[in-house]
Each structure stands twice: as structure tokens, then as C-alpha cells.
Amino acid sequence: MGAVTALYSATIGLVQTDIKKVLAYSTVSQLGYMFLACGVGAYAAGIFHLMTHAFFKGLLFLCAGSVIHAMGGEQDMMKMGGLRKKIPITYWTMLIATLAIAGIPGFAGFFSKDEILEAASSGPHAHISLWLMGLIGAGLTSFYMFRLVFLTFFGNARFDEHKVHVHESPKNMTAPLIVLAFLSIFGGWFAAPRLIGGVDHFEEFLHPVFSAYAPPDAASADLQTKLADDGASNEQLRLVQTHGAFSDNASPAMDLVRSLLGWPVIVAILGLLVAWWFYIRKPELPKRVAQSVYGLYTLLLNKYYLDEFYAALIVRPLLWISTNVLWHVVDEGVIDGTVNGTARVARESGGQLRRLQSGNTRSYASWVVIGAVCFTVLLLGILGMVAR
């Protein structure tokens, strides 16, 4: 479910033109990565990505708000462009957040996303299909996020500059952007030593919580047994349990090269280059591609018609039930019918009893006599029953 969510939402983000919708589906996709991590047993990596995602996604949404503020409320990226020099603080901070979410080395998202994809490919519950879906989603994330940057900040202005007075946001809006930009760069460096065979300090911090739920792989178990037989210390055994088996021939330099030139980095750079080619080098190309695959483009633009499916399957049936059953039958028929029926009986009964108040003295005397007779009969009947 995590892998499918990550990939599915990333494909929707490819064609959205509302700057906030792109970020919204990006958020759904990144949540998919967090659940993918939990699904393959990399709980610490999932929580780590939750933390780094808070930095760069919070920054992206605040930057989007700054852009919308600068554009006088406009959210359509197709009506922006050329904002890079007009709102430089917003541009640079949003670029940093984009580099982070794309997984470019050195930025926060690189460390957490790399751990998730590594666990999906080599962890105790790894599977090639999970890794492949996560990898494709990472490439699509890089593409649609740099598409957002290029459409918003580069190229010619696609709005009337005489009507829209583009201006940088005030300091109370840009100051949080700068703070989050700093965290989007350095917020993932807790795991930096891991790139050269060292300790992931964030995973180390969470080890007491997740150690009981993350069974070691077979190599780690064998290594722990061997070290225990050789008289290794408890600290050495704990490090092996936390970080898995290691090779005697492992080279920190090779570990670093593998991390910086691995598939996640390659697809991130590829997504950046494709976005640059589409929206900077050949800006007429996206329209031609959309026309050539119009059916697929329409499917993605309409979010796989999930909203329409949801409306047909859930919303409209519930609306029909609430209108024809709950409203007309239960509310009007039962509840209103009971209340109104009681009122009608009381009103009609009162109308009939009102006729007795005629104001005629002889009529009142007759009723007094009838009442006295009825009372006497009732009294005699009671006395007869008591006598028996």
C-alpha cells in the first residue's frame, strides 16, 4: 500500500497546474514512502522521513503561500513565470526544499529516502517490486517538483505585469522560510556518518523503541553468534544488532561512492534534467506530449477519476438514502408525523370540547344533573361491592 500510494500520487502530481495541488499530492506520495518503510520493517527510516519531510514540505507550502501572496492570490502555475528575480528569498528557499524532496545528496530528504529505498531492496522484508515502485516514484517526484520551480520562477512572465504587482513577502513570512531552509539542508545529517560505514545517530536514538520489532537478518544473527563466541563486548553485539552485518572488506570510500552515485540519486538527477528539457530548453514540448498521449494526460489530470468514482459509489447513494429515506420517510413521515399528529388530535379534541361551553344556563344545569346522576350511580356501585 505504501509503494502503490507513493507511485500513484506521484503520477497525479505530474500534470497538476495548481501549485498547492502539486504539493498536496506530493504529500500523499511522501506518506506512501513512510508506510513503505514501515512495511519492510525499517521503522526508524519511516520516522526519519516523517521528520525530514516536515522540514522541506512545511517549507514548500509556506513558499507556495509566499508565491500566491506575491501574485495577488493566483495559484495557477501556468499564469506565473519569471518570478526568480522578483521574489529571490522565496525562490532560493523553495529551490532548497525542492532539492531536499528530490533526494539530491547533502539535503535532508536524501538521507531518509535513501534509507527507505535501501530497506526496500535489501532489508528483511525487501522485494524488488517495492524497490522499483519506490525508485520510479522518486524519479517522478524530482520531475514534478522541478517542473513546479521552472514554471513558477523561470521563463517569461505569463501574467500582466501592469495588473499584478509582484513583491517579496514581508519578514514575518520570509523568516520562517529561512529557518526551514536551514533544516531542509542539515536536518538529515544525523544519518551522514552512515554513508561512510558509521553510525546513523537517528536510528541509534530510536533503537530502544524499535529493536523488539525489527528482527535481524541471517547474516547479522550469524555474526552476533560468532562475536559472542569470540568474547565480544555487549556494546559490539548491540551495534551489530542495530546496524546489521558488515563486510571485513568494506571501504568507507566505496560506501560513500555507492550512496552518492546510487540509483535514487541517478533518478533524481534524471528527473531534474527531464524537467529542465521540457520547461526550459523546449517549453513547447509538454503541450505536444500531452496532445500525443491525450487519454493518459486526461486520466492523470482528472486524478484517475477517483473523485467521480467516489461520488458515484459513496456520495450519491448516501445522498439518495438521506433524501428519500432519512428525510422524507424518517424525518417527515415518522418524526414530523408523530409531532404534527399529536398536535392535530389535541386541536380537534379541543374543538369538540369547546362546544360544551355554550353559555346557556339550562345546558349547564343539565350537565350538572347528569354529573350528579353519574356520581350517584358510581357511589352506589362502590358501596354494593363493599357490602358483598
Quick check: 95 and 184 in contact, CB under 8 A?
A: no
Average pLDDT on 210-222 reads: 58
Please, what is the angle between helix 108-122 and helix 43-70, to 10°? 140
Secondary structure (3-state) at 104: coil
How is residue 26 written as a grid cell?
Answer: 506530493
* Segment 297-336, tens digit of pLDDT: 999 999 999 999 999 999 999 999 999 999 999 998 899 8
Task: Report the distance separating Cα 147 and Cα 142, nearest Å.
Answer: 8
d(CA 22, CA 146): 11
- Helices (H) and strands (E) counted in the chain, each on its own, are 18, 0
Per-residue pLDDT of 56-111, as tens digits, reads: 999 999 999 999 999 999 999 999 999 999 999 999 999 999 999 999 999 999 99
Judge contact between 116 and 44, C-beta under 8 A.
no
Q: What CA–CA distance (Å, rounded) separates 136 from 128?
A: 12
Q: Are 237 and 227 in contact (CB under 8 A)?
A: yes
Name the 3-class secondary structure at 203.
helix
- Do 138 and 268 touch, CB atoms closer than 8 A? yes
CB contact at 8 A, 135 and 264: yes
Look at residue 301 in the predicted model and tell me its pLDDT: 93
Over its C-alpha atoms, the chain yields an Rg (Å, rounded) of 36
Residues shown for the chain = 388
Q: What is the mean pLDDT of residues 344-364?
A: 81
Torsion of CA 306, 307, 308, 310, to 10 degrees: 80
How far apart (Å, rounded) are the C-alpha atoms in residues 80 and 92? 17
Distance CA 2, CA 14 (A): 19
Q: Is 245 exposed, middle or buried (0-12, 13-18, 19+ CB in 10 A)?
A: middle
246-289 per-position pLDDT tens digit: 444 456 666 667 777 789 999 999 999 999 999 999 999 999 99
What pLDDT sits at residue 27?
96
- Residue of 247 and 290 predicted with greater confidence: 290
Rounded Cα gap, residues 89 and 81, in angstroms: 16
| pLDDT digits 0-9 by tens, 149-187 | 999 999 999 988 878 889 999 999 999 999 999 999 999
